[in-house]
Amino acid sequence: MRYRNKYNINFSANPLKKDPALLSRKNALEAEWYDAEAVEYFAQLDEPHDGLIQMDREYEDWFGAFYDSPSDRFAYDRLFVFFDLFPRARPLRLLDLGCGPGPLSRFFLRRGVETTSVDVSSLACRFVAKSSRDTMPLRACAEILPFKAESFDVVTSFVSLHHFNLSLSLREMRRILRPGGMGIFVEPLCNSATYYKIRQLVPLPDNESPGGGGLNRTELEAQLKAVGFTYWIKEFDLITRLERLPGLTLLQDRMRKIDHFLLYRLPLLRHFARSVVMRFER
Protein backbone atom coordinates (compact mmCIF):
# COMPACT_ATOMS: atom_id res chain seq x y z
CA MET A 1 0.00 0.00 0.00
CA ARG A 2 1.29 3.46 -0.86
CA TYR A 3 0.78 5.97 1.95
CA ARG A 4 -0.19 9.54 1.18
CA ASN A 5 2.83 11.40 2.46
CA LYS A 6 6.12 12.63 1.10
CA TYR A 7 8.14 9.76 2.56
CA ASN A 8 5.58 6.97 1.95
CA ILE A 9 5.77 6.06 5.65
CA ASN A 10 3.09 4.10 7.48
CA PHE A 11 2.53 6.61 10.28
CA SER A 12 0.47 4.14 12.33
CA ALA A 13 3.65 2.08 12.84
CA ASN A 14 6.46 4.49 11.97
CA PRO A 15 9.79 2.58 12.18
CA LEU A 16 11.78 5.81 12.45
CA LYS A 17 10.45 6.54 15.93
CA LYS A 18 10.33 2.95 17.17
CA ASP A 19 13.78 1.59 16.29
CA PRO A 20 16.58 3.16 18.41
CA ALA A 21 19.04 2.32 15.62
CA LEU A 22 17.16 4.80 13.39
CA LEU A 23 17.20 7.64 15.93
CA SER A 24 19.91 9.67 14.17
CA ARG A 25 18.17 9.34 10.80
CA LYS A 26 14.81 10.25 12.29
CA ASN A 27 16.16 13.39 13.96
CA ALA A 28 18.10 14.43 10.84
CA LEU A 29 14.95 14.19 8.73
CA GLU A 30 12.92 16.00 11.39
CA ALA A 31 15.50 18.79 11.57
CA GLU A 32 15.44 19.17 7.78
CA TRP A 33 11.63 19.29 7.74
CA TYR A 34 11.30 21.86 10.54
CA ASP A 35 14.23 23.98 9.34
CA ALA A 36 12.33 24.44 6.08
CA GLU A 37 9.14 25.27 7.98
CA ALA A 38 10.94 27.79 10.21
CA VAL A 39 12.14 29.93 7.31
CA GLU A 40 8.76 31.61 6.94
CA TYR A 41 8.59 32.55 10.64
CA PHE A 42 11.42 35.09 10.56
CA ALA A 43 9.41 37.60 8.54
CA GLN A 44 7.15 38.06 11.57
CA LEU A 45 10.03 39.57 13.55
CA ASP A 46 10.32 42.46 11.07
CA GLU A 47 6.61 43.27 11.05
CA PRO A 48 5.29 46.14 13.22
CA HIS A 49 3.84 44.75 16.44
CA ASP A 50 2.70 45.83 19.89
CA GLY A 51 4.92 43.48 21.90
CA LEU A 52 3.43 40.29 20.45
CA ILE A 53 4.44 38.86 17.08
CA GLN A 54 1.59 37.63 14.90
CA MET A 55 1.96 34.04 16.06
CA ASP A 56 1.91 35.01 19.74
CA ARG A 57 -1.09 37.29 19.38
CA GLU A 58 -3.09 34.35 18.08
CA TYR A 59 -1.83 32.03 20.81
CA GLU A 60 -2.34 34.63 23.54
CA ASP A 61 -6.04 34.78 22.69
CA TRP A 62 -6.37 31.03 22.07
CA PHE A 63 -4.32 29.66 24.98
CA GLY A 64 -5.06 32.51 27.35
CA ALA A 65 -8.80 31.92 27.12
CA PHE A 66 -8.23 28.60 28.87
CA TYR A 67 -5.19 29.12 31.12
CA ASP A 68 -6.15 32.53 32.47
CA SER A 69 -9.89 31.92 32.89
CA PRO A 70 -10.52 28.33 33.99
CA SER A 71 -14.16 27.33 33.87
CA ASP A 72 -15.87 23.97 34.00
CA ARG A 73 -18.02 24.96 31.05
CA PHE A 74 -14.96 24.35 28.84
CA ALA A 75 -14.37 20.82 30.16
CA TYR A 76 -15.32 19.39 26.74
CA ASP A 77 -12.40 21.18 25.08
CA ARG A 78 -9.00 19.47 25.02
CA LEU A 79 -7.11 22.76 25.29
CA PHE A 80 -8.95 23.76 28.44
CA VAL A 81 -8.15 20.38 29.98
CA PHE A 82 -4.51 20.63 28.85
CA PHE A 83 -3.90 24.07 30.35
CA ASP A 84 -5.92 23.34 33.47
CA LEU A 85 -3.39 20.61 34.38
CA PHE A 86 -0.48 23.04 34.82
CA PRO A 87 0.34 24.00 38.41
CA ARG A 88 -0.07 27.71 39.13
CA ALA A 89 2.42 27.75 42.02
CA ARG A 90 5.70 29.63 41.60
CA PRO A 91 8.61 29.21 41.23
CA LEU A 92 8.25 26.61 38.49
CA ARG A 93 10.87 25.25 36.10
CA LEU A 94 9.29 24.12 32.83
CA LEU A 95 10.83 22.34 29.84
CA ASP A 96 9.13 22.76 26.45
CA LEU A 97 10.17 19.76 24.32
CA GLY A 98 9.92 20.07 20.55
CA CYS A 99 9.20 23.78 20.99
CA GLY A 100 9.14 24.58 17.26
CA PRO A 101 8.80 28.36 16.79
CA GLY A 102 8.15 28.69 20.53
CA PRO A 103 4.57 29.94 21.03
CA LEU A 104 4.04 27.73 24.07
CA SER A 105 7.39 28.74 25.56
CA ARG A 106 6.71 32.45 25.14
CA PHE A 107 3.18 32.03 26.50
CA PHE A 108 4.53 30.67 29.79
CA LEU A 109 7.40 33.16 29.88
CA ARG A 110 4.85 35.99 29.75
CA ARG A 111 3.26 34.47 32.84
CA GLY A 112 6.49 34.40 34.82
CA VAL A 113 7.30 30.71 34.42
CA GLU A 114 11.00 29.85 34.09
CA THR A 115 10.97 28.11 30.71
CA THR A 116 13.62 26.20 28.76
CA SER A 117 13.02 25.37 25.10
CA VAL A 118 14.41 22.41 23.12
CA ASP A 119 14.05 21.44 19.47
CA VAL A 120 15.92 19.39 16.84
CA SER A 121 15.62 22.25 14.32
CA SER A 122 18.47 24.76 14.49
CA LEU A 123 16.42 27.37 12.63
CA ALA A 124 13.49 26.95 15.03
CA CYS A 125 15.87 27.49 17.96
CA ARG A 126 17.34 30.54 16.26
CA PHE A 127 13.85 31.96 15.76
CA VAL A 128 12.95 31.40 19.43
CA ALA A 129 16.19 33.10 20.52
CA LYS A 130 15.47 36.13 18.33
CA SER A 131 11.82 36.31 19.34
CA SER A 132 12.45 36.38 23.11
CA ARG A 133 15.36 37.54 25.25
CA ASP A 134 14.03 35.57 28.22
CA THR A 135 15.00 32.09 27.04
CA MET A 136 18.00 30.41 25.45
CA PRO A 137 16.69 27.55 23.29
CA LEU A 138 18.83 24.44 22.91
CA ARG A 139 19.17 22.30 19.81
CA ALA A 140 18.76 18.77 21.13
CA CYS A 141 16.48 15.76 20.85
CA ALA A 142 14.04 14.49 23.45
CA GLU A 143 15.74 11.10 23.50
CA ILE A 144 19.09 12.53 24.71
CA LEU A 145 18.49 15.58 26.90
CA PRO A 146 21.46 17.77 27.93
CA PHE A 147 20.27 18.42 31.49
CA LYS A 148 21.21 17.21 34.94
CA ALA A 149 18.94 14.81 36.81
CA GLU A 150 15.97 16.35 38.64
CA SER A 151 16.23 19.72 36.88
CA PHE A 152 12.56 20.47 36.08
CA ASP A 153 9.14 20.55 37.71
CA VAL A 154 7.17 20.15 34.46
CA VAL A 155 7.98 18.84 31.01
CA THR A 156 5.49 19.57 28.25
CA SER A 157 4.92 20.03 24.55
CA PHE A 158 2.14 21.01 22.22
CA VAL A 159 1.66 18.02 19.86
CA SER A 160 5.34 16.99 19.78
CA LEU A 161 5.53 13.84 21.91
CA HIS A 162 4.27 11.69 19.04
CA HIS A 163 7.48 12.53 17.12
CA PHE A 164 9.75 10.99 19.78
CA ASN A 165 10.96 7.47 20.44
CA LEU A 166 8.70 6.83 23.43
CA SER A 167 10.92 4.38 25.27
CA LEU A 168 14.00 6.62 25.13
CA SER A 169 12.30 9.98 25.63
CA LEU A 170 10.12 8.91 28.58
CA ARG A 171 13.18 7.58 30.39
CA GLU A 172 14.93 10.88 29.83
CA MET A 173 11.90 12.78 31.11
CA ARG A 174 11.83 10.71 34.27
CA ARG A 175 15.53 11.39 34.78
CA ILE A 176 15.27 15.18 34.46
CA LEU A 177 12.01 15.57 36.43
CA ARG A 178 12.18 16.27 40.15
CA PRO A 179 10.31 13.94 42.54
CA GLY A 180 6.65 14.83 42.16
CA GLY A 181 7.36 16.45 38.79
CA MET A 182 4.96 15.89 35.92
CA GLY A 183 4.63 15.67 32.17
CA ILE A 184 1.64 17.38 30.52
CA PHE A 185 0.86 16.74 26.85
CA VAL A 186 -1.85 17.06 24.21
CA GLU A 187 -1.24 14.69 21.30
CA PRO A 188 -2.86 13.00 18.28
CA LEU A 189 -3.95 9.37 18.53
CA CYS A 190 -3.73 6.54 16.02
CA ASN A 191 -5.18 3.53 17.82
CA SER A 192 -6.75 1.77 14.84
CA ALA A 193 -4.51 0.57 11.99
CA THR A 194 -7.63 -0.22 9.94
CA TYR A 195 -9.02 3.27 10.44
CA TYR A 196 -5.66 4.71 9.40
CA LYS A 197 -5.68 2.73 6.15
CA ILE A 198 -9.18 3.96 5.39
CA ARG A 199 -7.98 7.51 6.11
CA GLN A 200 -5.49 7.13 3.26
CA LEU A 201 -8.44 7.03 0.85
CA VAL A 202 -9.73 10.43 1.96
CA PRO A 203 -8.42 13.17 -0.39
CA LEU A 204 -7.16 15.52 2.32
CA PRO A 205 -3.47 16.41 2.75
CA ASP A 206 -1.38 14.21 5.05
CA ASN A 207 1.14 16.88 5.92
CA GLU A 208 3.09 15.09 8.66
CA SER A 209 6.84 15.23 9.19
CA PRO A 210 8.90 12.02 8.71
CA GLY A 211 9.07 11.30 12.45
CA GLY A 212 5.36 11.75 13.00
CA GLY A 213 2.32 9.54 13.43
CA GLY A 214 -0.23 9.44 16.23
CA LEU A 215 0.23 7.65 19.53
CA ASN A 216 -1.26 4.23 20.23
CA ARG A 217 -2.83 4.29 23.70
CA THR A 218 -1.99 0.65 24.52
CA GLU A 219 1.66 1.19 23.63
CA LEU A 220 1.73 4.54 25.44
CA GLU A 221 0.40 3.05 28.67
CA ALA A 222 2.87 0.15 28.48
CA GLN A 223 5.79 2.57 28.10
CA LEU A 224 4.57 4.82 30.94
CA LYS A 225 4.30 1.81 33.25
CA ALA A 226 7.72 0.51 32.21
CA VAL A 227 9.32 3.83 33.15
CA GLY A 228 7.47 3.95 36.46
CA PHE A 229 5.15 6.91 35.88
CA THR A 230 1.67 7.16 37.32
CA TYR A 231 -0.60 8.68 34.70
CA TRP A 232 -4.01 10.06 33.70
CA ILE A 233 -5.29 10.03 30.11
CA LYS A 234 -8.43 11.47 28.50
CA GLU A 235 -9.51 11.12 24.86
CA PHE A 236 -11.07 13.84 22.70
CA ASP A 237 -12.34 14.39 19.15
CA LEU A 238 -14.57 11.83 17.50
CA ILE A 239 -16.96 13.48 15.05
CA THR A 240 -14.76 16.57 15.34
CA ARG A 241 -12.52 14.73 12.87
CA LEU A 242 -14.88 16.17 10.24
CA GLU A 243 -14.08 19.78 11.10
CA ARG A 244 -11.73 20.16 8.14
CA LEU A 245 -14.53 19.53 5.66
CA PRO A 246 -15.98 22.65 3.97
CA GLY A 247 -18.67 24.35 6.00
CA LEU A 248 -18.13 22.40 9.22
CA THR A 249 -15.46 24.63 10.81
CA LEU A 250 -18.17 26.88 12.24
CA LEU A 251 -19.68 23.89 14.03
CA GLN A 252 -16.44 22.95 15.81
CA ASP A 253 -17.57 24.02 19.28
CA ARG A 254 -20.83 22.09 18.99
CA MET A 255 -19.05 18.99 17.67
CA ARG A 256 -16.64 19.03 20.62
CA LYS A 257 -19.58 19.06 23.03
CA ILE A 258 -21.15 16.09 21.24
CA ASP A 259 -17.82 14.25 21.33
CA HIS A 260 -17.47 14.90 25.05
CA PHE A 261 -20.89 13.34 25.63
CA LEU A 262 -20.28 10.31 23.35
CA LEU A 263 -16.80 9.51 24.68
CA TYR A 264 -18.04 9.73 28.26
CA ARG A 265 -21.18 7.65 27.71
CA LEU A 266 -19.73 5.08 25.27
CA PRO A 267 -16.16 4.21 26.32
CA LEU A 268 -15.68 1.79 23.39
CA LEU A 269 -15.69 4.79 21.04
CA ARG A 270 -12.51 6.11 22.68
CA HIS A 271 -10.52 3.69 20.52
CA PHE A 272 -11.41 5.92 17.53
CA ALA A 273 -10.72 9.27 19.18
CA ARG A 274 -8.32 11.60 17.37
CA SER A 275 -6.49 13.19 20.28
CA VAL A 276 -5.57 12.75 23.90
CA VAL A 277 -4.59 14.89 26.87
CA MET A 278 -2.35 13.25 29.44
CA ARG A 279 -0.53 13.93 32.66
CA PHE A 280 2.07 11.63 34.14
CA GLU A 281 3.91 12.02 37.43
CA ARG A 282 7.28 10.91 38.76
> What are the pLDDT digits (tens) for 18-36?
999 999 999 999 999 999 9
> What are the pLDDT digits (tens) for 220-249?
999 999 999 999 999 999 988 776 666 666
Whether 92 contacts 113, CB under 8 Å = yes
Confidence of residue 164 (pLDDT cuts 50, 70, 90): very high
Segments making up each domain of the chain, as ranges = 11-281
Whether 165 contacts 23, CB under 8 Å = yes
Strand partners, 234: 277
Cα–Cα distances (Å) from 76 to 1, 235, 264, 280, in that order, read: 36, 10, 10, 20
pTM score: 0.92
CATH architecture of 11-281: 3-Layer(aba) Sandwich (3.40)
The length of the chain in residues reads 282
Answer with the residue of higher pLDDT: 164 or 207.
164
* Model pLDDT, residue 73: 65
**Nearest to residue 151, comparing CAs of 174, 125, 184?**
174
